[in-house]
Structure formats: C-alpha cells, structure tokens
C-alpha cells in the first residue's frame, strides 16, 4: 500500500477523467491520496473532491506564487475551510524565490498567517520551499510546535540536516527518478525511514519514461521504487514506512 501525499486532483487537468484517475491509483495499490490546494478557489475544490472519493483527503492553503493577491478575507476563508471534514493539513504554503511570482515580503506574510491557522486548527503544515531555505527555516523556527512536512524536497544537505534536526518530515516526488537527479536521490537516501514520505505533485513532475505526460497518483510507485533502490531497502519496506508516516502525520485512520 502507498499514499500519494501531495497531488492536485482539483486542477483542470483532471476534469475529464478524475474518477478514472482515482480508480487507477487504487488499482495500483495507492490506498489514499492527499489533494493539496494552491489558492482559495482551489481549497474549495479540494474539499469537493475529497467529499466525492473516500480515499481522498484535502489540504487547504495558498501557494506562495499567489501571495501578492491574498487578502485578509482570503486568509479568513482558509481558516474557515481548514475546519472542514477530511481536511488533514494547511498548505501548500511557504516561500519560492526561484520564480519570484510574488514579493518575498508578501510570501513571508501569508506563510506566517497560514502557520498560525494550522496551529489554531491543530493541523500539520505542508511547506513549499524553493531557493528560499534560509528564510523558510527562519520563519518555521518562530513556530517550533507546528508539525511540518517539506514537500518535493530540494535544496542541499545543510538544509536537509537542519530540517531533520527539527523533526520535520521530507517528501520526494517522481523527479527522484530523473537521470540527472543524483542530488535528490542522495537526499532521499539520507532521510531516516521514520521521516520519509512520497508524492507525485501530479499533474506535474511525471517519472522518467513519462516526461511530457500528465503525472497521476498511480505513478507514485516509481518514486517508491527509486527510493527503495537508493536506500538499499525492499520496495515493500518503503511502502510500509512511508504509508505509516503519512498516516501518522495527517491523522489518517
């Protein structure tokens, strides 16, 4: 059994065949899917998708790319939605200084606001960090009690060491399968079993051999196979450990 801990089933790329995609995942042994929103509208859609499918759960939040347009009313709406049935975390929130689609100041503002929502609701936090390691760690340090998952892990070994020292979980996508992703594989190899999770980030980042196609939750097994290889562990052991970690982190029974 596997859990895809991060995908975007609410995106329009899945409008034509969402039911088939969820059924395909179940047939491939993906027992649960965590659907992560990136906007207020997406958060509402994530709740609708989770309500339709027993094995799908929702994460509500606003992506750092959207930070310049986020109002106080939007953040209050995220707080309201976070109380919804089948909501298992707040996110994805965080910082992205790679594309800089929003000002760092606004990104930091809504990051802190969503951490506070997570704490108020007693929910864990799903964090996006791209070329913003120092500020991400600085802000998270202000909230030591929030349970944290660094999604689609990238960065360097210094960032990884600090995340692990603080007890954060680290999740790896299907980009771990890419021929030139040696650094990412080395990070995956270094994460202890009890802090490891897997995801697809579908429809993005399809595995090697499927690049250019839409990624789907069923393909999380390719990430699992690669992580098993670099950790020198049985595929079944990776499935067992990452599933248990995801259940514990998100509170999935």
pLDDT at 54: 97
CA 87 → CA 13, 110, 181, 198, distances in Å?
A: 22, 19, 32, 19
Tell me the C-alpha distance between 96 and 128, whole Å: 7
Residue 60 host element (H or E): strand 56-60
Stretch 154-162: mean pLDDT: 95
Confidence of residue 131 (pLDDT cuts 50, 70, 90): very high
- Give per-residue pLDDT as tens, 89-119: 999 999 999 988 999 999 999 999 999 999 9
pTM: 0.97
pLDDT at 64: 98
Tell me the C-alpha distance between 124 and 59, whole Å: 10
- For the chain, the first-to-last Cα distance in angstroms comes to 14
**252 φ, ψ to 5°?**
-85, 130
Confidence of residue 161 (pLDDT cuts 50, 70, 90): very high
Q: Does domain 2-250 have CATH number 3.20.20.140?
A: yes
Stretch 189-199: mean pLDDT: 98
Confidence of residue 70 (pLDDT cuts 50, 70, 90): very high
Give the count of alpha carbons within 13 A of 115, CB side only.
25
Domain range list for the chain:
2-250
Stretch 32-50: mean pLDDT: 98
Chain-centroid distance, C-alpha 124: 11
Strands 196-198 and 30-36: unpaired
Stretch 218-245: mean pLDDT: 98
Stretch 207-213: mean pLDDT: 97
pLDDT at 226: 98
Beta-bridge partners for 94: 128
**Residues 61, 90 contacting (CB under 8 angstroms):** yes
pLDDT at 117: 98
């Amino acid at each position: 059994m596997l859990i895809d801990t991060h995908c975007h089933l609410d995106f329009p790329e899945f409008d034509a065949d969402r039911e088939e995609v969820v059924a395909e995942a179940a047939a491939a042994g993906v027992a649960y899917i965590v659907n992560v929103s990136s906007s207020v509208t997406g958060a509402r859609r994530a709740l609708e998708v989770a309500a339709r499918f027993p094995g799908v759960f929702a994460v509500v939040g606003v992506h750092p790319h959207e930070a310049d347009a986020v109002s106080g009313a939007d953040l209050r709406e995220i707080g309201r939605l976070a109380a919804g049935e089948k909501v298992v975390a707040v996110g994805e929130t965080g910082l992205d200084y790679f594309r800089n689609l929003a000002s760092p100041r606004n990104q930091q503002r809504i990051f802190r606001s969503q951490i506070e929502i997570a704490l108020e609701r007693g929910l864990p936090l799903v964090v996006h960090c791209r070329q913003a390691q120092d500020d991400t760690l600085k802000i998270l340090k202000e909230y030591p009690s929030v349970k944290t998952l660094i999604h689609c892990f990238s960065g360097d070994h210094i960032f990884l060491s600090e995340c692990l020292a603080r007890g954060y979980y680290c999740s790896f996508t299907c980009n771990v399968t890419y021929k030139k992703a040696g650094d990412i594989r080395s990070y995956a190899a270094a994460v202890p079993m009890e802090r490891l999770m897997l995801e697809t980030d579908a429809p993005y980042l399809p595995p090697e051999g499927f690049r250019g196609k839409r990624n789907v939750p069923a393909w999380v097994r390719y990430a699992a196979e690669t992580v098993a290889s670099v950790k020198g562990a049985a595929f079944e052991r990776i499935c067992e450990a990452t599933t248990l970690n995801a259940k514990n982190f998100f509170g999935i029974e």
